[in-house]
Structure 1
Amino acid sequence: MTRSARAAAALGLAALLTVAGAQGAAAHVLLETATPNGDGTTTLTFSFEHGCDGAPTTGLDVTLPAGVEAVSTSQPEGWAAEQGPGAVRWEGTPVADGTPARFELVARVTGTAGQAFWFPTTQTCTTDSYDWIDTDPAGGHPAPSFVATTATLAPRPVALGGPGATSGPAGASLAQTLAAAAAASLAAAAAGTWYLARRRA
């Protein structure tokens, strides 16, 4: 690569990081961390530090994407959570603009490593609300999101007949295996009777 090409690439990377940083700073509701718990669940931490044009925040409605199932929640003091089909709602004592707040959702996440999960969210305030729903990072109101890793994904159940499963020959059922064993025993007995009869003759 020539010196001019390297310089252009460096400028392009710097511009990309600047845009990404600006988008991150502009987002009022973020999925701050996704921490695996070691039991097939992952703790997702949603956070914000700003209200709606200075108005305090009183509620947070998070839509769960396909592949994410809520298990339990936690929230700041004075707030309560409600879990519904495909959604979680937090509401409580107003959080002043500029005050950090964090909300934890323990969930089971199923999918593939490298898959992006988006959580369209509505931030409700005393006088207004913001919808953080853009699944395009370049959007003005990007939805909270994270990219799954093998550690944050719930283990897949072992299919019958798969690795670790036991079965009869060629995947035969127990009844088929017992029937085959009985038939083999009868055949052996018949062969023994025929052999003794020939010797006596």
Structure 2
Amino acid sequence: MTFKTTALAASALLAGGILALAAPLSASAHIDIDPSSAAAGSYSVLSFALPHGCAGSPTTSISIAIPESVVSVTPTVNPNWSVEKTSTPLATPLTDEDGTSITDRIGAVVYTAITPMADGLRTTFDLSLQIPTDAAGTTLEFPVVQTCVTGSTNWDAHTVDGEAEPEHP
């Protein structure tokens, strides 16, 4: 009888400990980008991980804003999501390696769920792009807007070295 009581007490303590750890971890969950760094001028595939809905509400779309210094982006098809690229005019046209004038860039990539993704599920969105050659030592920011059946979350707060991570980095 003593063993059974001790085992139950240990199980309850373990479950309480897991819940105590899980609550802060779930509150700090945010959209991660992998890799978190890449060499200037290199071609990279950036994976944006979406770990949950908006306060329990299913996700219906995710819009990834592309930094002005990135001209071209190729999104990867994601099953159960449609994908659209939106163009933005360049202030100053560029000329590519073939001598073609480029007057627009991709301003955002929007993935829209065919069926809203339930809270508690995770997916990733991959974008292939070239890191600008003059980006060495700088941080490129890709603000994300997550829209849900009820509400939305703007993942656009700046992270500052030496300061606490913002709520929606």
Shared topology, TM-score over 0.5? yes
For residues 24 and 64 of structure 1, what CA distance do their matches in structure 2 show?
27
Q: Which one-letter code corresponds to 1:72 in the other structure? A: T
Is the contact between residue 52 and residue 129 of structure 1 (CA under 8 Å) also seen in structure 2? yes
How many matched pairs?
Answer: 119
Match of 1:119 in 2: 142
For residues 123 and 129 of structure 2, what CA distance do their matches in structure 1 show?
20
Deviation at 1:125, TM superposition (A): 0.7
1:100 to 1:139, Cα distance in 2 relative to 1, 3 A:
same
Match of 2:80 in 1: 78
Is the contact between residue 81 and residue 91 of structure 1 (CA under 8 Å) also seen in structure 2? yes
Match of 2:71 among 69, 72, 90: 69
For residues 109 and 127 of structure 2, what CA distance do their matches in structure 1 show?
9
Q: TM-score, normalised by structure 2?
A: 0.62
Ranges in structure 2 where 5+ consecutive residues have no aligned partner:
1-23, 88-106
Match of 1:57 among 50, 59, 78: 59
Match of 2:50 among 45, 48, 51: 48
Structure holding more helix per residue: 1
Post-superposition CA distance 1:19-59 (Å, at most 9, x none): xxx799724212132687xx952111101111011111110
Q: TM-score, normalised by structure 1?
A: 0.53
Structure holding more strand per residue: 2
Following superposition of structure 1 onto structure 2, how do residues 118-197 of structure 1 map, counting pairs within 5 Å? Answer: 118-137=141-160, 138-142=165-169
Is the contact between residue 75 and residue 102 of structure 1 (CA under 8 Å) also seen in structure 2? no
Deviation at 1:139, TM superposition (A): 2.0
For residues 84 and 34 of structure 1, what CA distance do their matches in structure 2 show?
24
Bigger Rg over Cα: 1
For residues 70 and 23 of structure 1, what CA distance do their matches in structure 2 show?
35
Ranges in structure 1 where 5+ consecutive residues have no aligned partner:
1-21, 143-201
Is the contact between residue 61 and residue 123 of structure 1 (CA under 8 Å) also seen in structure 2? yes
